[in-house]
Structures are given as structure tokens and as C-alpha cells.
């Protein structure tokens, strides 16, 4: 029985970590703890500093206060994204190597790392990225900005020249294809 309890604690901890990494800590996103007696406790992810699993689950908020739950009390922990598109297209959806067009008939590769770093095979090859409104927004060291997003049944890469922001008229829009054999 003790091994089953330890496995359950480990499984819950892994799912919490994966969910937080996938969804991030946006103001509109939340975590809901449902206890065995049916009570629901919902907290904004932006307010949570960490969730500890010791003798129970302890949610530590950024302001320092804590909320504890006995693991025997917890029946599930749910993370709520801000919108359905963010639930469907979180960070993990965009991780990996993407083959994208350059707007002039050729292609190059963009690699999006889990730590928010981005690399590309043309121009200044370093940048950073994050998910905003269900799309990957990349800011490159050379001033270019790219977006990778779902467009119908495919993905597209939208490019913005230096000096433009993500709300400007794009310089080009090309196909984007994740070269990973399966989603991460």
C-alpha cells in the first residue's frame, strides 16, 4: 500500500510539473484542486510560486502564504488555460525543429527549445520565444520577429522585419512544418 501511495504522489507531482510547463503562469490560467469530498479550490497560476508534495500537497503563493491539502483529500488537480486554443496549442505543441519558408522560395529551419531559446539556420541564429494567444512568437537577435501558428489543417510562419512588432503588416507568410516525427 505504501508503494502505491508513493507512486500516486509521484504521478500527481509529474502531472503538475508537466501541466505548469505546458500552460505557463498567465493571469487568466488557474489550477483547481478537487478534494475527495467534492470541494473545489481554484487559484490563479500567476499567483502560485510552487506546489510541494511532501506529506501532502502544499501550494505556495508568490505572496508567501500557503494552502495545504492531505493527499488523501485530493481526488484531482486540474489546470485551466485562458482559452481553448491555448489548451490545444501550449508550449509543447511548438517544441522542436520547424522547416519554414524564407519568403523568397527557399526554406530554413527554426528550432524552439523548452527553455524559451530559439535558433534558426539563417541570419542571427539566436532568439527567444513564448506562446501568446495559442501561437509561438519568436524574437530574433537580428531584429526579425516570426510567428508559428496553426492555419487550418497546417501551420504557417509569419515574418516581421526589424523595427516591426507582431501587430504590424507581415513581410511574408509561408508554410511551416514540424520535422519531429511525433508531437512532444
CATH number at residue 56: 2.30.30.100
Regarding whether 77 and 6 lie in a shared domain, the answer is yes
Regarding whether 111 and 75 lie in a shared domain, the answer is no
**Domain end residue (candidates: 21, 56, 82):** 82
What percentage of the chain carries pLDDT values higher than 70? 66
In a domain, residue 183? The reply is: no
In a domain, residue 47? The reply is: yes
Q: Which domain holds residue 59?
A: 2-82
pTM recorded for the entire structure:
0.54
> What is the tally of structural domains in the chain?
2
Q: Supply the CATH number for residue 116's domain.
A: 2.40.128
Regarding whether 111 and 66 lie in a shared domain, the answer is no
Regarding whether 100 and 26 lie in a shared domain, the answer is no
Regarding whether 95 and 78 lie in a shared domain, the answer is no
Burial class (CB in 10 A: 0-12, 13-18, 19+), 164: middle
Q: At residue 38, does pLDDT exceed 90?
A: no
- Burial annotation 83-100 (CB, 10 A radius, 16+ → b, else e): eeebeebbbebbbbebbb
Rounded to whole angstroms, how far apart are CA atoms 33 and 43? 9
For 41-81, the pLDDT digits (tens) are 777 777 776 666 666 666 767 677 787 777 677 666 665 55
Q: Which set of grid coordinates corresponds to residue 113?
A: 527549445
Among 35-44, 45-54, 133-142, which stretch is predicted with the lowest mean pLDDT? 45-54
**Domain end residue (candidates: 82, 106, 140):** 82
In a domain, residue 134? The reply is: yes
In a domain, residue 147? The reply is: yes
What integer pLDDT is reported at residue 89 of this predicted model?
Answer: 63
Q: What is the pLDDT averaged over residues 111-136?
A: 91
In a domain, residue 184? The reply is: no
Amino acid at each position: 500500500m505504501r508503494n502505491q501511495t508513493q507512486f500516486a504522489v509521484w504521478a500527481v507531482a509529474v502531472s503538475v510539473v508537466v501541466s505548469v510547463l505546458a500552460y505557463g503562469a498567465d493571469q487568466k490560467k488557474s489550477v483547481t484542486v478537487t478534494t475527495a469530498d467534492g470541494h473545489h479550490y481554484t487559484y490563479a497560476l500567476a499567483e502560485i510560486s510552487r506546489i510541494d508534495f511532501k506529506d501532502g500537497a502544499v501550494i505556495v503563493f508568490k505572496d508567501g502564504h500557503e494552502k495545504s491539502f492531505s493527499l488523501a483529500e485530493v481526488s484531482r488537480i486540474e489546470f485551466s488555460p485562458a482559452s481553448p486554443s491555448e489548451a490545444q496549442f501550449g508550449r509543447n505543441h511548438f517544441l522542436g525543429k520547424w522547416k519554414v519558408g524564407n519568403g523568397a522560395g527557399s526554406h530554413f529551419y527554426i528550432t524552439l527549445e523548452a527553455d524559451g531559446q530559439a535558433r534558426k539556420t539563417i541570419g542571427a541564429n539566436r532568439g527567444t520565444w513564448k506562446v501568446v494567444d495559442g501561437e509561438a512568437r519568436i524574437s530574433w537577435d537580428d531584429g526579425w520577429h516570426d510567428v508559428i501558428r496553426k492555419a487550418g489543417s497546417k501551420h504557417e510562419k509569419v515574418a516581421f522585419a526589424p523595427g516591426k512588432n507582431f501587430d504590424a503588416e507581415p513581410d511574408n507568410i509561408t508554410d511551416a512544418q514540424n520535422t519531429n516525427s511525433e508531437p512532444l
